[in-house]
Amino acid sequence: MLKEFFSSRNHVIFTGIFIGISAAFLQKLGNPPNMGICVACMERDIAGALGLHQAEVVQYIRPEIIGFVFGSLIAALIFKEFKARSGSNPLIRFVLGFFAMIGALVFLGCPWRTLLRLAGGDGNALFGLVGLVVGIWIGIFFIKSGYNLGRNQRTHPLVGWIMPIMMVGLLLLLIFQPQLPSGAVFFSSKGPGAQHAPIFISLVVAIVIGFFAQRTRFCTIAAIRDLILIKDTYLFTGIISLLLAALASNLILKQFHPGFQGQPIAHSYQLWNFGGMVLAGLAFTLAGGCPGRQLFLSGEGDADAAIFVIGMIVGAGFSHNFATASSPKGPGLWGAASVIAGLIICIIVGFSMSDLGKKRMEVKR
C-alpha cells in the first residue's frame, strides 16, 4: 500500500512542490540567490572546499549534497532497495560527469537551478532550458539508436556504502572545520560560497528531499526525456510542480525579479547559456539521469552513479583551474572551447556505445 502511494503521481507532485518551496526558503535563510538548491554549483563548492580549485568565492561544504545521499540511503534501507551494484562502464560515466559539470558551469547551473533561476525571474535561464532540451533530444537520438553502457553487476555491500561514507567524511569536515597548514578546509569569506543557510536546516531539508526523491525516482532529465521518448508525463508533472512552487514562494518572499541584465550569479551571453546546457543535457542523458538523481542512486548503492558524481566534482576543479567556468561577467577564457570539445567527446561516446558504432566494429572484425 505504502509503496503504491509513493509511486503515485500525487507523490511526485508533492516532491516537486517540497523541493520548490525548500529552495526558496533555503535562499531566504542564507543560500545564494536563485541557488537555494543547485546540485552542480553545490558540488563545485565542495570541490573548492577540498582545494580542488582555487576560486576563493565558491568554496564551502554544502550539507545539501550530503543530505541528498543520506535521505536516499535511509529510504532505500527502509524499503529494502539498497543494492550495491557497479561495473556499467564506470570510466565513461566519469567522463560524462566531468563534461556535465563543464557544461553546467558555463551556463552557471544544473537542471535544478535552471528551473529555480526561471522561478526567480532570470530570463537568461530560458536559453539554458532550451539548450537542456536540445541536449536531451540528442541523447534520445542515441538511445533510439541502441545506446547502452552495459549491465551493472551486483557486488559486495561495501561498494554501495562508499559514497555514503564519503559523505560522512564531508559532514565531519563541515562540522569541525579543521585548519591545516595548507589552508584546507577552504571556506569562502565572501561571494556565493560565504552565503549559506544554517547547516542543520540545510541538512534536514536535504535528507527529506533525498528520501522522497528516492521513493518517487525524481529526476529532472528523465522528466523531459520520458515526455519526448515514451510520452510519459509522470516525472514531468514533478518538475512543473517544482517550478510553480518555487515561483509562488519567491513571489511571497519577494525574491522574484524578472529581467535579463544583472541577474544573480548569471550572465547574458545567450549562445553559451544555450551551448553549456546542450552539453550538460547530453551528458546527463547519456548517463541516465540528472545530477540530483545520480546522488540519489549513489545513496541506494549504485557505484556507477557515484563515479559520475566524482567525475562532476573533479570536473568542477578542472573548470575553475582552467578558466572554463563562467562568472557573472561572462564565459571564461576557455569556456567556449571546452563546450565544443565536450560536445565532440559526448557525441563520440554516444556514437561508439550505440548500434551506430557497434555495427562498424563488427564490420571491422
Partner 1 sequence: MNQRIDVRGLSCPLPVVNVRNILLEIKNGILEVLVDTGTSKDNITRMAINIGWKVEIKEEGDEYLLTISK
Task: Tell me how far, at minimum, the Cβ of 83 lies from partner 1, in Å.
Answer: 7
> CB–CB of 36/250 below 8 Å?
no
Residue 363 binds partner 1 (CB under 8 A): no
Burial of 38 (0-12, 13-18, 19+ CB in 10 A): buried
Residue 41 or 149: the one with the smaller Cβ distance to partner 1 is 149
The residues facing 330 across adjacent strands are 327
Residue 355 binds partner 1 (CB under 8 A): no
Question: Residue 67 corresponds to which cell in the numbers above?
Answer: 543530505
Of 244, 246, 193, 239, the C-alpha closest to 220 is: 239
Residue 320 binds partner 1 (CB under 8 A): no
Residue 232 binds partner 1 (CB under 8 A): yes
Binder of partner 1 out of 38, 125, 149, 203 (CB under 8 A): 149
Of 281, 242, 222, 3, the C-alpha closest to 117 is: 242
Task: Tell me how far, at minimum, the Cβ of 82 lies from partner 1, in Å.
Answer: 10
Q: Which stretch binds partner 1 (CB under 8 A): 22-30, 66-74, 190-198, 228-236?
A: 228-236
Of 324, 348, 340, the C-alpha closest to 105 is: 324
Q: Which stretch binds partner 1 (CB under 8 A): 47-55, 142-150, 158-166, 331-339?
A: 142-150
Residue 229 binds partner 1 (CB under 8 A): yes
Of 116, 102, 125, 32, the C-alpha closest to 335 is: 102
Ranges within 25-84 binding partner 1 (CB under 8 A): 79-81, 83
Q: Which stretch binds partner 1 (CB under 8 A): 52-60, 146-154, 247-255, 335-343?
A: 146-154
Compose the 204-223 pattern: x for residues touching partner 1 by CB under 8 A, - for all others.
Answer: -------------x-x--x-
Binder of partner 1 out of 10, 54, 78, 153 (CB under 8 A): 153
Residue 293 or 320: the one with the smaller Cβ distance to partner 1 is 293
Of 248, 191, 198, 240, the C-alpha closest to 67 is: 198
Ranges within 283-302 binding partner 1 (CB under 8 A): 287-289
Binder of partner 1 out of 43, 45, 122, 304 (CB under 8 A): 304
User: Binding-site residue total for partner 1 (CB under 8 A)?
Assistant: 28
Sign of CA dihedral 270, 329, 39, 318: positive
Residue 225 or 320: the one with the smaller Cβ distance to partner 1 is 225
DSSP 175-236: HH----TT-PSP--SSSGGG----HHHHHHHHHHHHHHHHHHT--HHHHHHHHHHT---HHH
> CB–CB of 5/19 below 8 Å?
no
Task: Tell me how far, at minimum, the Cβ of 100 lies from partner 1, in Å.
Answer: 15
